[in-house]
Each structure stands twice: as structure tokens, then as C-alpha cells.
Structure 1
Amino acid sequence: MRRVEHVMGFPVSLRVDDEGSWESAADACFAWLREVDARFSPFREDSEVSRLDRGEPAPDRISPELAEVLALGERYRADTGGAFDVRLPGRGLDPCAVVKGWSVQKGADLLRAAGARRFCLNAGGDVTAAGGPWRVGVRHPEDAGRLCAVVELTDGAVATSARYERGDHIVDGRTGRPATGLLALTVTAPTLTEADTVATAAFALGRDGVDWAAARDGCEVFAVTADRRVLRTAGFPVAESGQAAA
């Protein structure tokens, strides 16, 4: 089964290779992602995130899901010395850097709970997969028509933070200015919650973020620095051959 929908501002594609009918499981996965978009988007005035940013409701009356997202954001803020922060001056509360990977991973968990064992869920290029091997292309940071690596996943996730889609959108919370030092950074991890947030946090840290991400349990890193050096941890799962399939 294959399905593609536009959710949270980017295309989300699902491929399930198990036998049987997976339409109901796919419906539940995409319904969850649409719910997340409605509840946690800082761009919707009626979302829970926007209401909290305005002081309604009180912080102790938020949903358990938003509390979980904010706790993750605080954990990474502390771990990066403030470089990663879901609250920035002039921008208010914006937990998107946590919400994307967290919500897509929970969508994958719904698929697993429904019995899916071999699937790939791709959210705007950030991927969580099971029952591989799956091959995922890592886009070249300066040439949209080229790949700079192909990752092989069995059960896990891969996420990339870079300038090429949205320009200097990742801000160093310590300075309030766009992060510098890297063109792109890709992280593999057991879950997309971690891969996506670590990639964004590491990018916010700049060149120091490569070592920071590499030191985290279960994470492997592929990075292109601003001076176009390629850095890669020894365990980064580069496929030896073949085309990207996700």
C-alpha cells in the first residue's frame, strides 16, 4: 500500500509492504498527523500552542501531549546550553522542531500497533522505517539534483537539517541569529523523535554540533560544514550500492 498526503506543510508518504489491507491503519496515522497540525501549529490562532503562548490556558492545564513536547524541548535546550530553544525572542512559542519528528514517530507507532512490520513513513525527507533494508537518499546541500549519501535503514530513523529548503530558518537560541557553521547535518537514530530533534539542535550549535550529536547514544552523523568539508561518524549507515528507495 502507498499513500501520499500534504500535512503540516509538507508531503508525507507512507509505504507498507506487508500483505493484507492497511487502509484503516493508514487512515489512523494520517488522522493523527492532521490532529497534530491543528493542535500544535504556532501558525493557527486557535491551536493549543497559540493559546498557550497567549496565556490561555494556564501552563498547568495543557494537554499531556503538549506537556510531553515542551518537556522534550526543555531537555534539548538544557543539553545545548540554549542553542536549541522552542521559545525565541520575537517569535514566541514555536515547538515545530520537536513536533515534527515526535508526531511522525507516533504515527509509525500506530502502524506497528496495527501489526505493520515492513513500512516506510517519509515526512518531508525525514524518515522512520521498519523491516528494512530501506535506502534513503540524503540530498546534496548545494545541488538539488544530486545525493551526497544514501542511508540504509532496517529499523530506525533518519533526519536532516539544512538551509536548502527554507534558508536560514534555524536560529541559535544563544544569539537570536541564524545558525552558522554547517550547510547540512543528517542524523540516524532509533526513533524519528530523536533523529529530527538532534539534527535541528546540532545544526543550531554550528560546527560544535557535529561532535555533540555524535556523542549521543544511538546517533550517527553525516555533516557538510560551511567550508564544504564532509564529516561522518564511523557507524553512519551508508548503503554500499543501489538507488534510494524512500
Structure 2
Amino acid sequence: MSAVITRAPHPQVTTGARRAFVEQVMGLPVSVHVRGDVERPELLTAVQQVWGVLHRVDAVFSTWRTDSELMRRRRGELAPELAHPWLSEVDRLCLEAEQRTGGLFSAAFDGAHHDPTGLVKGWAVERAARHLRHVPGISWCVNAGGDLLAGAGRDAAPSQWLIGVEDPRAQGAVVATVALRSGGLATSGAAARGAHVVDPRSGVAIDRDGSATVWGPSLLWADVWATALYVDPPVGAAALEGADPAYRSLVL
């Protein structure tokens, strides 16, 4: 994990006006951290709806499940008009991401297969977190394997979450903190998962240390830009400044 919520409560334990829930989904631990009126019955319903959306996303987009709609479409077993509409929505977003980043982010895979999963996590968390926005009197932060989305429920002001950015060269060491009230933060690098990020310009996996963290209004776009800055820090930084100046970055 490359970003953590500092001073977070223990999972599934209420401590004063804080509560957290954890689910293993999409191949990673996802946690929902809540402050405020944490005993509202609507909160438990909303959290279950969050898990439901994420499990459905996994069924549609997983590259590890042979029965996912993405893999069935790759094999030609699922006609586009019969596929879940999420697939076409994400396809459009991937094209937009490639254009915004000047080609530093791409859904191309091995030059032949379409792989949108580099964008899906941020998109999925934003979609799932819509259910939390309807719960009155709370602020919340969703942590999906180190990528985070913060916001507030109905008639509530977002509170501040302190996010620790881990040193990619020293596991467990925090090198910076980011105060996040609303929006997303994402980190890209090889420290946790190895050389899984591919430079779309060469088709070669990037095998170097370091990381790129981006935060701003949307987790989806923070995630896209974190990938672009890790692929090529100077070119990515220039593209980010020109296309999305509302976002901030930290390249280590």
C-alpha cells in the first residue's frame, strides 16, 4: 500500500464518532472510514451497497476471472450489444484518458488486447461511494489498496483526512502527508506490485523504483495522472499542468 489514512480507527470497531468497515474485493482490501453520526442505520445499508457495486464491477472487469464480461468479450464470446453498459462507458473514459495524458496512459495491452483495468479502480470507487453521499451527518474516506476517495454525506461538511504517502524505497516509512477533505488521491509505482505499469509508447514494463502520487477533485483522474507521471515524470507533469491544473502531484 502506498498511501494510508493516519490515525484511522480499527476496522469494524466504533471508537467515539468513528467507524470503519473492510471488505476483500477486486483482489485487494477496501476500507470505508466514517466520522460523525456513525450509528445511523442508513450507514450500514450504504456500506453494503458500496460492497455490492464493487463486487459487480469485479464480475464485469476482472482479468483474473475467466467468466468476467471483459474476458468473455476478449474471447469473442460476448457481443458488444449484450455486454454490460459499464464496459462501453469505461472504454470511452480510457480514450479520453489517453488523449488527456498525451498517450502516457493507455488501455492497450500487449499491442493487441484492450485492458481498461488501470482506470477501473478509481472509476469503481467513485461510483460505489455515491451511496455514502446519501447518508446524513457523516464524512467518509474510502481506501482501495492505497488509493483514496473522501467526501461527505447529506447536509454534512467534509472533515479533514490526513493521508500518509509511503516512501517507495523504504516500506512503511511515510515521507509526506496530504490533507484531503473532498476528492481523490492515487499513487502509481512498482514498490507494492512490481513492474506492472507499462509505458504505452514502447510496450515495455517499467522496472524502476520511485512513485507518483496525485490528488485532486476526482479519484478516477488522480489515478490516471499518477500512472502518467510514473511512466514519464517530466512529460506527465507538463501534460497535467496543461490539462488538469486542479490536481497536485508528488513524484518520488
Using the size of structure 1 for normalisation, the TM-score is 0.84
Q: String of CA shifts for 1:142-186, please: whole Å, max 9, x gaps.
A: 001211110001111111001101111100111011237871101
In 2: Cα distance, 1:143 partner to 1:13 partner: 24
In 1: Cα distance, 2:184 partner to 2:34 partner: 16
Give the letter aligned to residue 195 of structure 1: A
In 1: Cα distance, 2:233 partner to 2:81 partner: 34
Note closer, same or farther for the CA distance 1:49–1:7 as it changes in structure 2 (3 Å cut). same
Matches within 5 A, 1:181-220: 183-215=210-242, 216-220=244-248
Quote the residue 1:55 is aligned against: 76
Quote the residue 1:168 is aligned against: 195
Quote the residue 1:25 is aligned against: 46
Displacement after TM superposition at 1:30 (Å): 0.8
Quote the residue 2:106 is aligned against: 85
User: Tell me, which stretches of 5 or more residues in structure 1 are unaligned?
Assistant: 225-246
Give the letter aligned to residue 222 of structure 1: L
Give the letter aligned to residue 183 of structure 1: G
Quote the residue 1:154 is aligned against: 181
Matches within 5 A, 1:107-126: 107-115=128-136, 117-126=138-147
Identity of aligned residues (%): 37
Q: Does 1:222 align with 2:250?
A: yes
The root-mean-square deviation of aligned C-alpha atoms, in Å, is 1.9
User: Tell me, which stretches of 5 or more residues in structure 2 are unaligned?
Assistant: 1-18, 152-157
In 2: Cα distance, 1:144 partner to 1:214 partner: 30
Q: 1:14 aligns with which of 28, 32, 44?
A: 32
Contact 1:182/1:207 (8 A) holds in 2: no
Report the 3-state secondary structure (helix = DSSP H, G, I; strand = E; otherwise coil) of the residue aligned with 2:224. helix
In 1: Cα distance, 2:228 partner to 2:68 partner: 24
Give the letter aligned to residue 45 of structure 2: S
Note closer, same or farther for the CA distance 1:206–1:178 as it changes in structure 2 (3 Å cut). farther
Corresponding pairs, count: 224
Displacement after TM superposition at 1:190 (Å): 0.7
Give the letter aligned to residue 7 of structure 1: V
Displacement after TM superposition at 1:199 (Å): 1.1
Displacement after TM superposition at 1:90 (Å): 6.3
